[in-house]
Amino acid sequence: EEVRSKTALMPIVGENRFLNTFGHIFSGGYAAGYFSYKWAEVLAADAYYYVQAQGGIGSDASRSFMHNILEIGGSLDYMQQYVKFRGKKPSISALLQSNGIDN
């Protein structure tokens, strides 16, 4: 209750049991699908911040993204292609940053 009062954006009704029943990421057939959405957010944030740091659209980094990710599609191993584009595997740091969380 203490954490909720400090972090909730809106008052929570007393009957709300959301935190006790949010099974999407823990169980059931939807858990793997939910994880894939989060993993896509990790990749998107990591790629975005990298390209922005390298000069944004039109930079060598953006062309590398186009060549190594978009043009290849799913025809080659995506992690190998991501490393070719980015120079390393993705990390969650950019996703945390995009959500206002210090890493």
Residue pLDDT, tens place only, 47-98? 999 999 999 999 999 999 999 999 999 999 999 999 999 999 999 999 999 9
Closest CA to 43 of 5, 13, 12, 70: 70
CA distance 84 to 95: 20
Contact 67, 84 (CB under 8 A): no
Answer for the pair 42, 97: CB distance below 8 angstroms, yes or no: no
Residue 56's φ and ψ, nearest 5 degrees, are 75, -160
Place of tokens 């793997």: 32
User: Taking the model in full, what pTM does it have?
Assistant: 0.72
